[in-house]
Amino acid sequence: MDMTLEETADDIRSMRVRGAAKISRAAAQAIRDVAMAFKGNSVEDMRNILREAAVTLLGTRPSAVSLRNGVNYTLAPLHDADTNDVESLRKKVSEKADEFIARSHEALKLIGEYGSRRIPQKGIVMTHCNSQAALSAILKAHDDGKDIRVYATESRPWKQGHITARALAEAGVPVTLIVDSAIRHFIDTVDIVIVGADTVTSSGTVINKIGTSVMALCAKESRVPVIVCAETYKFSPRSARGEMVEIEERDPAEVADPGAFPGVTIANPVFDVTPPEYITAIVTEKGLISPYAAFEIIKEFEGEFK
């Protein structure tokens, strides 16, 4: 692939490439491209260029945990004392990038399998926004011949729910599109809520698309199980050191044209925080766990994801 680093960074910044999994794979790929394209002889120069690439990529969405995990994973060879020459560093970084991308795809597949088993033979699923991992579980259940129907919220302001609704309809899954505020009206008939995650913290909270916590709360009120599908690289090691996940605030114009609302402030937070007590289980490629066991996942992978 010949996409330059700047193009990838720009794609992530502008949300042309979006979704925690996609941006982290794109970043791994971009770093690999930088390593491949390096023409010099000095391994120190190469290290510096790779570090700069990391800074550029991390700056596109500074609060994205999977992006940070993807970049750190790929650049682990920088901390490898034995990697003293350009070629071996190039090779190792390239391998790490491939490995991250392969593991990401494999994780998605496993999560789809594990998650699909939670969906009843005949039942109604509700989902929010557009999560690859959640969709993977829903589509697997459909492929396995389960008789399911799905409620998809439109997910303002970007309305990524439209993508979800179309993807399900194309796959032959009966799907009903609703406005975000209609969640509680419909949740009574729902058998299971399945959503994705942007970040999972060490105490078990899940940061995901704005509105996820509202759906989880409504589900809890009606005793509907809530399944979060999340690859392990979405778990935040920094949260284990007390760090709060910063909630990204995006352009007000995504909500409404500020010019048309003189004197009105428009707020556009991208994510919200779902506490673990509203989450039945998190499905990872390492198994289905209680959200309260998140620290376990982080501890296990801390060697890899700093």
Q: Which of positions 45-64 make contact with a copy of itself (CB under 8 A)?
A: none
| 287 lines the binding site for a copy of itself (CB under 8 A) | yes
Residue 184 interacting with a copy of itself (CB under 8 A)? yes
Residues of 107-139 as b/e, b for ≥16 C-beta within 10 angstroms? bbebbbbbbbebbeeebbbbbbbbbbbbbbbbb
Rounded (5°) CA angle 267-234-37: 100
> What is the residue type of 152?
A
Please, which of residues 96-115 interact with a copy of itself by CB under 8 A? 113-115
CB closer to a copy of itself, 82 vs 170 = 170
Minimum CB–partner distance for residue 115 and a copy of itself (Å): 6
Question: Which residue of 15, 272, 301, 304 would you call a contact of a copy of itself, by CB under 8 A?
Answer: 272
**What residues have CB less than 8 Å from 126, skipping those under 6 apart?**
150, 151, 152, 153, 183, 186, 187, 190, 192, 193, 194, 215, 219, 224
- 275 three-class SS: coil
- Distance in Å, CB of 224 to a copy of itself, minimum: 9
Give the whole-angstrom CA distance, residue 196 versus residue 135: 9
Instruction: Find out whether 283 and 115 touch, Cβ atoms under 8 Å.
Output: yes
Q: Of residues 129, 143, 180, 218, which has the active-site annotation?
A: 129
* SS3 category, 196: coil
Task: Note whether 174 and 147 are within 8 A (CB).
Answer: no
- With respect to a copy of itself, which residue has the nearer C-beta, 70 or 204? 204
Among 7, 99, 296, 304, which residue interacts with a copy of itself (rule: CB under 8 A)?
296
Of these, 30, 108, 218, 226, which contacts a copy of itself (CB under 8 A)?
Answer: 218
Considering the complex, state which of residue 196 and residue 291 has its C-beta at the smaller distance from a copy of itself. Answer: 291
- Say whether residue 15 binds a copy of itself (CB under 8 A): no
Among 94, 162, 250, 301, the residue binding a copy of itself under the rule CB under 8 A is: 162
Q: Which is nearer to a copy of itself, 49 or 178 (CB)?
A: 178
Tell whether omega for the bond before 157 is within 30 degrees of 0, i.e. cis.
yes
Catalytic residue among 198, 229, 257, 272, which?
198
- Residues acting as catalytic residues: 129, 198
